[in-house]
Chains A and B, each alone.
Chain A
Amino acid sequence: MGFNDYILEKKAVISGLEVSDWKQAIIQGGKVLTDHGACTEEYLETIVRKCEDNGPYIVIAPGIAMPHARPEEGALALGYGIVTLKTPVVFEDPDNDPISLLIYMAAPSVKEHNESAVSQIADLCDEEDIVESLIKASSDEEILEIIRNQES
């Protein structure tokens, strides 16, 4: 299943999440994955630890992070999620801070991880007007509507 189809079918979105820092953002926003059985709690904790150890590898563009870890680090099923933050958080990535949009991903195999998931998410994040409207959306339904419109 593609990124858009998954998001629409599972309604895997959280708009306006309130958090105080990037760690809380990753863990609390990660509900979009755990609620649908896509990953374990450890998967989210691993992402936080890897960011602490290696720097914010999940920050991919201005305002956008893509929280994900390796398939063997707790991915249970192919899963995606879109989370927007009420107040942007800083990841210590000067080129891209502050971050308002989190695109989650879990994939149980490297092949799925790379070839479909990453490139689909990059396609979405490369559309600046869509990213801007996602960040501005005031409800989950509004986010779903943006994705639905993109589909058609």
Chain B
Amino acid sequence: MVKETIIISNPTGLHTRPAKQVVAEAKKFESDITVYHQDKEANLKSLLKLMKLGISQNHSIELCCDGPDEEEALKHLTGFILSLEG
């Protein structure tokens, strides 16, 4: 299992459109991908679960990948989330 903490930088946070893009990226990997925010957690492959966390700009989240492609998933998803612009 690998994990990394990142700060959300895009203005609308992990709100529907960016969130939907992130979920689509997460689904490309076989590993289980979990996002932790404050005292809550969500499966990053589920849009509704992710939306329930209410992640906004400047929030800190921890991404946790567990599975055969965990290293690649973590690298790709942290890069993807940090490059969101919307």
Contact = CB atoms under 8 A, between A and B. Distances in A.
Q: A and B, one complex? A: yes
Interface of A: 54, 57-58, 60-61, 66, 68, 70, 110-111, 113-116, 118-119, 121-123, 125-126
Interface in B29-50: 47-49
A9 B12 CA distance: 28
Leading 7 A-B pairs by shortest Cβ distance: A122-B51, A119-B54, A57-B17, A122-B52, A115-B54, A114-B56, A126-B48
A110 B57 contact: yes
B5 interface: no
Contacts of A115: 54, 56
Contact of B52 (A57, A58, A113, A123): A123
Nearest to A61: B48
Nearest to A65: B16
A66 B12 CA distance: 16
A116 B12 contact: no
Given A110-B12, A116-B54, 15 more contacts: A54-B17, A57-B16, A57-B17, A60-B16, A60-B20, A60-B48, A61-B47, A61-B48, A70-B12, A110-B11, A111-B56, A115-B56, A118-B51, A119-B53, A126-B48
